Amino acid sequence: AQTVTQSQPEMSVQEAETVTLSCTYDTSESDYYLFWYKQPPSRQMILVIRQEAYKQQNATENRFSVNFQKAAKSFSLKISDSQLGDAAMYFCAYRSAPGTASKLTFGTGTRLQVTL
Amino acid sequence: GAVVSQHPSWVICKSGTSVKIECRSLDFQATTMFWYRQFPKQSLMLMATSNEGSKATYEQGVEKDKFLINHASLTLSTLTVTSAHPEDSSFYICSAKTPGQGAIFQFFGPGTRLTVL
């Protein structure tokens, strides 16, 4: 079974600064997907960014980018130019490749605070 | 597009009663829906995978007789918490996946807060 670990229960960043959230995972599969989800106080899950394991290039979505290290089974999220609206719980998630079980396995989450 | 709704958004019930939560995909057909449970300040825990027209697949440790799941149409799945007790109080979230083995995204509903008195 796959496991996802987020070792930082809480992080804090000043507005306009950069912060990196860590995520490691364990799997014996070679093809899979990794996601970062944001859960603001409304508790609506919002997809932030995704990475396909077969792609070497790190995914980027505006101010959000990942550092995907497949051999190390590491998938960190970098938030640049942090904004107050970035304050939320962030969950790292793993999904097996299409054609297999499509369920998501979530990490324990990191609560991000953004200060002025 | 890809909007998922849940109803109700919150519910309070007495211990021993049953509560039904609906999950609807509003603008797409969802052959597969997922039900999660989230306790305060914790992660999402998958309870079951619901496939349209077939029995749900429950995760280990989830009582299928207590958490009844019905996925009767391509746009609706329901979770019924039977004989609810205070320990069932939690935040329940559903998600839906578009058809096809190539579809990789799950679209999440806004969640339902259940409080059992």
Chain segment A13-68, per-residue pLDDT in tens: 999 999 999 999 999 998 899 999 999 999 999 999 999 999 989 999 999 999 99
Other Cβ atoms less than 10 A from the Cβ of A62: the count is 9
Nearest to B32 among A95, A102, A107 (CB): A102
Longest Cα–Cα distance in chain B: 43
pLDDT one digit per residue (tens) for chain B, 117 residues: 689 999 999 999 999 999 999 999 998 888 889 999 999 889 999 999 988 888 899 999 999 999 999 988 889 999 999 999 999 999 999 999 877 666 678 899 999 999 999
Nearest to A98 among B45, B93, B101 (CB): B101
Pairwise CB contact (< 8 Å): B102 & A98: yes
How is A82-116 classified by DSSP, letter by letter?
A: --GGG-EEEEEEEEEPTTS---EEE---EEEEEE-
Coil, strand, or helix at residue B38? strand
Dist CA A44 CA B22 (whole Å): 16
- How far away is chain A from the Cα of B108, in angstroms, using its nearest Cα? 6
